[in-house]
Amino acid sequence: MLHEKLSSIYDNVLRRNPGEIEFHQAVREVLESVGPVLGKHPEYAESKIIERICEPERQIIFRVPWADDSGEVHINRGFRVEFNSALGPYKGGLRFHPSVYLGIVKFLGFEQIFKNSLTGLPIGGGKGGSDFDPKGRSEREVMRFCQSFMTELYRHIGEYTDVPAGDIGVGGREVGFLFGQYKRITNRFESGVITGKGLSYGGAQVRTEATGYGCAFFVEEMLRARGTSFDGKTVVVSGSGNVAVYAIEKVEQLGGRVVACSDSAGYVVDDKGIDLELLKQIKQVERGRLETYAARRGDHVAFVPGRSVWEVPCEVAMPSATQNEITGRDAAKMVETGCVAVGEGANMPTTPEGIKIFLEAGVAFGPGKAANAGGVATSALEMQQNASRDSWTFETTELRLREIMRDIHGRCVETADEYGMPGNYVAGANIDGFRRVADAMLSLGLI
Ligand code: NDP
Ligand code: 2IT
């Protein structure tokens, strides 16, 4: 339920951003949490902090022309939404996927403001991407696309201005092409302009693994708070991309048994536990499809096409593919079949109906803003290393990531307690993330 004043702000957001349903959903979730904060802090309402936070500082939309291997010309649309720079330079990934439009980029950018705030590190919120579909494209085509994309984007970004990174469809390979073109155009080896770089040219240890590892650490903390652990637990992870693979890796190290994962074509169930080496070989080395995993792993594994992985019973769920993948129906079934914890590796993977069901059932529910913040936090560590021309070891960086995830968990718990909603990580994350940005905006004047 929205508090009366917030309800009129939300109506305005709907009116000013027609058709952007994912953005509306992300805004509504935050507004539902911050009502009690406005009661305690009338100065936020007086300065119209909420209205300002819901309006991006800047939105850039541009043409991205490129030619495929046969010489045919294609035109895609590029986006960068620079949402909020109260805490630091805009920071957030780039998504290349055919479903990308302004509403997706704005929902992601909006989430990023509060996520980045929760890390406690000096980073603002932004997001970008394109409706380019990398599937089936050759390496040369991907390179030409990235070069064309950066030929416009470069003028808007910079170490102190806006620092992109990866997201769906943008991994180490694409970050390399993007950084290469930035360097060529500007004649500057400005490492801090983008994160997720390769280790040979300014990238940080653990950034590749950070989102999945961080999510596993966050779930470990939620389980610990309830007197239990990953040990022997049955886990389902959706997706089989960057976040999913490293979530599986860390869960297995922490003693959990991951029995299923997925891609957009379907899912595999492997009762012996996902064979991570085989999965990495297929997804990362061969850039193949998950169906091949079932074919190579043996008779005990089936590929189930066209269905949701959330029909596989689990004790711990880590949705790590995309937005709105867990519906209310999925959530109800999951609760019924014994799910006790959910850690969102993806951004907004659970629908509002699903979240309500998990919270009412007392499931430990770690929202993406908190649970997947390890990726961007490690990006901020990469920026820190770039600024000091240093590089840290894997062990040091992983330790730092673990501490950051523990801190975020602790702050969510404390804030939820302070506002009389013990155990509610959604409220804890939204309120704590919001307060820090709101205080900075108050101090910075009318910006
Ligand atoms: P990848 O591109 O590496 O992997 C995405 C995975 O999700 C693939 O298995 C893909 O399947 C599946 N997927 C993507 N879109 C859909 C869809 N519409 N329906 C079903 N499955 C889909 O991306 P990441 O692992 O980097 O990102 C996954 C999620 O994590 C996203 O929500 C992202 O925003 C979030 N995230 C990522 C961070 C990062 O550091 N990379 C940080 C924090 C959050 P297929 O190959 O068939 O398309
Ligand atoms: O959603 C996210 O936090 C990311 N895609 C990572 C952003 C980053 O800047 O590392």
Q: What is the CATH number of the domain that holds 151?
A: 3.40.50.10860
Q: Residue 287: what pLDDT?
A: 96
273 burial (CB, 10 Å; 0-12 / 13-18 / 19+) is: middle
222 and 112 belong to one structural domain:
no
In ligand 2, which atom is closest to the CA atom of 116?
3
Query: To 10 degrees, what angle do helices 102-118 and 425-444 make?
Result: 90
Reported pTM = 0.98
- Confirm whether 220 is domain-assigned: yes
Residue 212 near residue 243 (C-beta atoms within 8 A):
yes
Which of 106, 127, 197, 369 does the annotation list as catalytic? 127
- Residues of the chain short of pLDDT 50, as ranges, are none
CA pseudo-torsion sign 258, 322, 181, 287 = positive
Is 176 touching ligand 1 by the criterion CB < 6 Å?
Answer: no
355 and 226 belong to one structural domain:
yes
- Confirm whether 140 is domain-assigned: yes
Q: Residue 24: what pLDDT?
A: 98
- Confirm whether 72 is domain-assigned: yes
In this predicted model, what pLDDT tens digit does every residue of 266-282 receive, in sequence order?
999 999 999 999 999 99
Q: Residue 190: what pLDDT?
A: 98
Q: Residue 25: what pLDDT?
A: 98
In ligand 1, which atom is closest to the CA atom of 165?
40
Give the number of domains in the chain: 3
- Confirm whether 433 is domain-assigned: no
Q: Residue 447: what pLDDT?
A: 82
279 and 361 belong to one structural domain:
yes
How far is the centre of ligand 2, averaged over its atoms, from the C-alpha of 346 (Å)? 10
Q: Residue 413: what pLDDT?
A: 98
Q: Residue 2: what pLDDT?
A: 81
Pocket of ligand 2 (CB under 6 A): 91-93, 115, 165, 167, 195, 347, 375-376, 379
- What SS3 state is found at 303? strand
Is 238 touching ligand 1 by the criterion CB < 6 Å?
Answer: no
Distance CA 108, CA 115 (A): 10
Domain that holds residue 9: 2-53
178 and 259 belong to one structural domain:
no
**Whether residue 250 lies in the annotated active site:** no
